[in-house]
Structure 1
Amino acid sequence: MTNYPVEMFKYQTWANQTILGRIKELPSSVLSQEVNSSFPTIAHALSHIYAVDMMWYLVLTGTAMPEAFQQSIPLNMSILDSVDEYANIFAQLSEQYNEWLHNQSDLEQTILLDNPFAGIHLTRLSEIMLQVANHGTYHRGNISTMLRQLGYASTMNDYSLFWYQVPAEAI
């Protein structure tokens, strides 16, 4: 039986690699080129995705949400110089998530979130995993739009394309 929160995290990892691969094909200046969009540059968007992914990882591994949020603020402000640097930090964080997922026996376990912006909420670990994937999808869409504004095509990274990345014989 498919574990959909885990599957969505696999998609998140694949989609991040896919968009980073596309950006790597372009001139290195595209990362820091200013755009009138949701973020001033593609690098800012990537830093934001990473910071929020890290915040949720910290929450999943036992850090209280206000503390996790505070720890992720510097990551959100940290703009890296190259696509390779972004690829490396995303890959490292993906490995951390995979290790955490491997050690989870019950993703339906609930935890209490104390969101500094929205208040107290009881949520399942599986819901947090879905939030991570959903947040990444939203901002990869921003990046696709930013690429188009800069005169470049993006790349498809929809969940439905991810389905076809698994060879049929593995199903």
Structure 2
Amino acid sequence: MSNHPVEMFQYHTWANQTIMGRIKELPASVLSQEINSSFPTLAHALSHIYAVDTMWYKVLTGTGMREAFQECMSLNVSILHSVDEYANNFAQLSEQYREWFQSEADLEQTVLLDNPFAGIRKTRLSEIVLQVANHGTYHRGNISTMLRQLGHASVMNDYAFFWYQEAAESV
């Protein structure tokens, strides 16, 4: 039986790599090309996903949400110069998540979140992992729209497409 939150994180990692792979195929200038959209540039969108992924990792590993949020605020505006830099940062963070999953973390453990935007709530660690994947999906949709607005096709990165990629790799 598969661990659904971990599988969703694997999908999140795959989908991030997939969309960054598409951006790598385009002229390097596309990363910083300004556009009137959800984010001013693709780089800003990638920085935001990375910052939030990092914040949630800190929460999962014991940092309070308010503190984690404060620690990661600078990542949200830290714009990198190449897709390779983003890909490397995401790969390193994904490895940290994988190590945490393998450390036999109890995903059904509850923690008290003190969310600066929504208040206090008890939640399971598994719900946080699902939030990471869901947040990434939302913003990869923004990136796909931004690519189209910039005159470029995006790439299929739906969860259902991930199922088929996994099946092809296991054959």
Q: TM over 0.5, yes or no? A: yes
Q: Give me the whole-angstrom Cα distance separating, in 2, the residues matched to 1:103 and 1:44.
A: 32
Residue-by-residue CA offset, 1:76-104 (whole Å, 9 max, x unaligned):
01000000000000000000000001113
- Residue 105 (structure 1) shift: 4.2
Q: Answer yes or no: is 1:93 the counterpart of 2:93.
A: yes
Residue matched to 2:137: 137
Superposed CA deviations along residues 118-142 of structure 1, whole A, max 9, x for unmatched, are 1110000000000000000000000
Distance of 1:69 and 1:106 partners within structure 2:
23
Following TM superposition, where does structure 1 have runs of at least 4 consecutive aligned residues deviating by more than 6 angstroms?
none
Aligned residue runs from structure 1 range 114-153, under 5 A: 114-153=114-153
Number of residue pairs matched by the alignment: 171
SS where residue 152 of structure 2 aligns?
Answer: coil
Alpha-carbon offset, residue 161 of structure 1: 0.4
Letter in 1 for 2:28: S
Question: C-alpha displacement at 1:2, in angstroms?
Answer: 1.2
C-alpha RMSD of the superposition: 1.2
TM-score by length of 2: 0.97
1:170 positional shift = 3.6
Give 1:163 shift: 0.1
Cα distance between partner residues in 2 of 1:154 and 1:62: 36
Distance in 2, matches of 1:84 and 1:105, equals 30
Read off the aligned partner of 1:159 and give its amino acid letter. Answer: Y
Percent identical across equivalent pairs?
Answer: 78
Matched residue type, 1:104: E
Structure 1 unaligned spans of 5+:
none
